[in-house]
Structure 1
Amino acid sequence: MRVNRISRVRHRTALGLAVAALAAGLTTGTGPAAAQPKTAAAAAADCSAAYRIEQKLSTGTTWRMCWRYDSKAGIVLDDVSYQPKGEAEPIKVLNSARLAQIHVPYDDGENEYQDLTDEGFAAGLMPLAPAECPGGTIRNVKVQDGDPGNPFVKGLCTTTRARGHAYRMQSDTGDKAYQAQGKDLLVYTVNQVGWYEYMTEWRFQDDGTINMNVGATGSLSWSDYDAGDGRGWPIGKGPKAQATSHSHNAFWRLDFALDGSTKNRVEQYDSTVTTRGRLTPQTKTTRTKVGKELAGDAKAYRWWRMVSATGKNKDGHARSYEFVSGPTTRYPGRSYTKHDIYFTQYNKCELFASNNPRCGGTHPKSVDKWVGGQTLTQPVAWVNVGFHHIARDEDQQPMPVHWQGFSIVPRDVTAMNPLTPADLAWQNGEWEFRG
């Protein structure tokens, strides 16, 4: 049984209004309407000032986007663009980005939760203290199913944060070290579901990388201190205090719009270590164009990228973003959690990876069922990252944040490292010594 420490009466009171709004076809998210695909490469942040995020980092990179608050997904980012120094216009990256589910099955088989669609994730937006957003801005968010008397929560933090070295390189002459300290734009919210508090974090690096993470903190569920069947871990003193183990399977949905077009293409790369070369075994890499919908499994020497159909960098190479997964434990217990990544053809009602409520009739409810062999002309990426939580004494009290997530990394978006110092700019493909 999942028991909440804070009363949900106010959420239940508003539920009827939310259902009525859905039945009438009204928008349930808060903020600007969902961004539509654009064709101009420079299109960025097409929303009112209250919902616009624009940050120029100290290293010269500018990120722009719009935000809105969905009644189930929580924070949604639209029209995300990246403009490093040396680029005259913003480079569009994403049409839309959102968390698409947190699936929580318990090891004893007694409980299973779909936190976004069924457990009031968005309604549980937590207010943030100034100390939680150092040097940044905490924005007011209207919560659809929140307190009817005061639906606004100061719950969205936008700030910047140092991440350490962006690069370091000793000069050829040895008398100088080229180094830069990287900066990130950080956008995050905290949402309470039951005993857990989820930190939904988006990090936009000055080198064009986007990191998507969910951090689980809060408290272990006291009502689940009943794992005497061997499906848990002893917590505290006595034989009865054993926390039931469980999984957190987090999904993200990314609708790309590289260079302003949603007509991107997907490529899969596989490398194989073959016969022995002169000193070491040779490695061969093959590229497969993914022309139809795909349920993909990560393995050694495999990765995917989303490629622009229209844009090229100054070297004439097609711009793309590569998917880089973090640590994951794939949960085999449900059909939709059996794969690490999905690419589906865009469908405006397919917004949640499981228990998807937005499509009517007989439309399948989970992402694995949407992979039906359609040609990918407007691909949407779904990324699944799992964490098997076997509790420990140190998880109390409160529970330290445990993170799960992934990154998308620019590949040929710019002709060189966007943070390259001016006196090394000549080294684009050049190798000869120049003092």
Structure 2
Amino acid sequence: MRGKPETPYLAVLRTQCLDDIGAGRRVYGLVTVTPVRTHPLQRLSADEIRAARSLLDDNGLVTAATKFALLGLEEPDKLTVLGHRPGDPIDRRIRAVLLDLETGAARTVIASLTRGAIDSIVDIDPVTDGQPPILLEELVTVDEIVKADPGWRAAMERRGITDLDLVRPCPLAAGNYGIASERGRRMLHVLSFLQHRPEDHAWAHPIDGVVAYVDVIEKKVIELIDDAVLPIPDEEANHDDPAYTGPPRTTLRPIEITQPEGPSFTVDDDVVTWENWSFRVGFDPREGLVLHQLGWRDGDRVRPIVYRASVAEMVVPYADPSPVRFWISYFDAGEYLLGQQVNSLELGCDCLGEIHYFDAVLADGDGAPREVRNAICLHEEDFGVLWKHTDIFTESSETRRQRRLVISFFVTVGNYDYGFYWYLYLDGTIQLEVKATGVMATSSYKSDSAYATEVAPGLGAPFHQHLYCARLDMMVDGLDNAVDEVEVQPLPIGPANPNGNAFTRRATRLRSEAEGARTADPMAGRTWHISSSDSTNRLGRPVAYELRPEGRPLLLADPASATAHRAAFATRSLWVTRYDPDERFPAGDLVNQHPGGAGLPEYVAADRAIEDQDVVLWHTFGAVHYPRPEDWPVMPVEYCGFTLRPVGFFDRNPTLDVPATPANHCGHHGGGEHHH
């Protein structure tokens, strides 16, 4: 690395930097250095992203054709982070996935910014390893590729389309379905939609029956599927046009949420404290929002609960078996990078109240930093009654109100928008809620279709699923935990239960990774308890948290299908693995065009012991979406998620010290006047 300085850690920035001398920063030629980061998990700064690109460039890894499919922080292993103390040296490392747009060659590079060194370079085999994530640049170039293809242009002409400027090719992840012509190629599959004019929403007018298979390295259509000429739905559906929606209603009066004394939380750089909670905010280009070191202050110590929590993958498989759509199964994290699709949030629209925003700094395709303002929203909100009792003997009446801290971000992946909301409650409960909204993928509707709903005249919306996988690196009161499956157990009439009213519960210890692959069962009330192997409560029982699933359907694709092979994580509600810092993603490191079998199937193959070990829980949850007319032209939010709640983690109700709401905050309406 040119001009390598003597300080223990330097962020390198190529710039004209003579002015920096006066600002107190060291200057080496055209290199500026900025101060050391203070924690191993601190998010990458813009200077560090520039430094990473510079380091890779200096080592001959970047050419004019190189694109950065991913560049992010290479997090140290758990023990290194837990052992870190303020002032300790930090080895800041990055992971980059580089793609040559001329040759298609790709590699994964891990490098140290602290040491100015390349630690590893691994070439990616596109046949066995899969492809780097999809680039924004590729989504743009596909438009030119298909519109230059004679076969595709002829397919448009057969459908009566002559103005190609109003056709919107929609490039989508190709998956891997054993198509011989795609083997080893970097592919996108392209559906098309029509606009009536530039401001018209194209999703209302699918050009059905035709799909182009595009090699984005050779920049050509290698196969065109022209299955059928179907009518193009004509009705417009512009949800942002008053001519379509009608005038806005005037009956909704304002709701204002204020905290005159400010919020109850504090933010110190990336560390948030609120009531007894504390955690560190992270943001990953693939996963988006990450919560690190989530713990609860109990007296003079912070008790760890979750070391790291994120949504590590999601898959959206479609049910249409037609030649045009059988391949649609998007992996929105692994193929498109959830973090890279993050929105800038707006006060009053996305979040209400006293808001603290975190900006996100991400690397673009050239390895340069781009800042997304207001990427993460932090606020607290009232959540109804926390606990209440009116006693018939003492005549006391007490009510306390629940409050929760909300940490959220929103992404747009093509037509869909997803909000990810982590909630922390006063009673120690943790919850994740996913809000799916946006615009549904559309098709021409055929009256005999068994795989779509007609949502507007002649317009279909295919059936599909939204399945998410949360990675929960647990640490309940320490590193060593155990997991029990707990379910109801009704008892038959017999000598011990003569009246048939008895029921109990059954707990089954999960001792190995093979046993840790489980399916939810709502009728059995099945939950999973994650308990400490070393810590007990005052009753002598292990302290624990309970993972409570919603228990909706898992992956509906046939077990022998390519979809099930690639999204094997979605065939189980729960997987429990032994912690390994290299096991980060449930469908593997490189999901795009991977042949399948990566991720959790590989992780659990060794069938390691998970009892009294450092364990990671992987929880699959989601929804089956049978579209409704009410979901068109923009879909009201559909919710799904899960809950982690304490079970014996505390010795008693931890909210007994929550104060009563002041009397002047309680009121009612009467006689048209607001009384306190």
Residue 29 of structure 1: how far off its partner (Å): 3.3
Residue 225 of structure 1: how far off its partner (Å): 4.7
Higher Cα radius of gyration: 2
- 1:399 is the counterpart of 2:635: yes
- What RMSD, in angstroms, separates the aligned Cα atoms of the two structures? 3.4
* Distance in 2 of aligned mates of 1:258 and 1:411: 11
Q: Which residue of 2 aligns with 1:431?
A: none
* Distance in 1 of aligned mates of 2:503 and 2:336: 47
- 1:340 is the counterpart of 2:573: yes
* Distance in 2 of aligned mates of 1:286 and 1:417: 24
Residue 26 of structure 1: how far off its partner (Å): 13
Question: Alignment partner for residue 298 of structure 1, among 520, 526, 544?
Answer: 520
Q: Which residue of 2 aligns with 1:118?
A: 335
Alignment-mate amino acid for residue 301 of structure 2 = E
Question: Alignment partner for residue 166 of structure 1, among 386, 399, 403?
Answer: 386
CA contact (8 A) 2:359 2:371 kept: no
Deviations 1:321-348 (A, max 9, x none): 0111125222232233221111011121
* Distance in 1 of aligned mates of 2:658 and 2:411: 43
Q: Which residue of 1 aligns with 2:546?
A: 322
Alignment-mate amino acid for residue 125 of structure 1 = V
CA contact (8 A) 2:445 2:459 kept: yes
Residue 144 of structure 1: how far off its partner (Å): 3.0
Residue 313 of structure 1: how far off its partner (Å): 2.8
Runs of 4+ in 1 over 6 A off after TM superposition: 23-27, 38-41
CA contact (8 A) 1:126 1:192 kept: yes
Cα 1:196/1:108, change in 2 over 3 Å: same
- 1:157 is the counterpart of 2:371: no
Question: What is the SS of the residue equivalent to 1:391?
Answer: coil
Cα 1:177/1:39, change in 2 over 3 Å: farther
CA contact (8 A) 1:342 1:368 kept: no
Q: Which moved more, 1:405-414 or 1:334-343?
A: 334-343
- 1:69 is the counterpart of 2:273: no
Question: Alignment partner for residue 461 of structure 2, among 236, 239, 243?
Answer: 243
Matches within 5 A, 1:29-428: 29=72, 33=75, 36-37=78-79, 49-56=268-275, 62-83=276-297, 87-109=299-321, 110=326, 111-131=328-348, 132-134=350-352, 135-145=354-364, 148=368, 150-173=370-393, 175-222=395-442, 224-226=443-445, 229-237=449-457, 240-259=458-477, 261-276=478-493, 277-293=497-513, 294-299=516-521, 300-333=524-557, 334=564, 335-357=568-590, 364-372=597-605, 373-376=607-610, 377-420=613-656
**Number of equivalent positions:** 391
**TM value normalised by structure 1:** 0.81
CA contact (8 A) 2:445 2:454 kept: no
* Distance in 1 of aligned mates of 2:365 and 2:537: 45
Cα 1:130/1:324, change in 2 over 3 Å: same
Q: Which moved more, 1:377-386 or 1:285-294?
A: 285-294
* Distance in 2 of aligned mates of 1:179 and 1:303: 29
* Distance in 2 of aligned mates of 1:194 and 1:422: 44
**TM value normalised by structure 2:** 0.53
* Distance in 1 of aligned mates of 2:424 and 2:526: 24
Alignment-mate amino acid for residue 415 of structure 1 = D
Alignment-mate amino acid for residue 29 of structure 1 = G
Residue 17 of structure 1: how far off its partner (Å): 6.8
Alignment-mate amino acid for residue 282 of structure 1 = A
Cα 1:315/1:37, change in 2 over 3 Å: farther
Unpaired stretches in structure 1, ≥5 consecutive residues: 1-13, 57-61, 424-435
CA contact (8 A) 1:143 1:153 kept: no
CA contact (8 A) 2:485 2:527 kept: yes
**What percent identity do the matched residue pairs reach?**
20
Cα 1:38/1:256, change in 2 over 3 Å: farther
Unpaired stretches in structure 2, ≥5 consecutive residues: 1-49, 63-67, 91-266, 558-563, 660-676
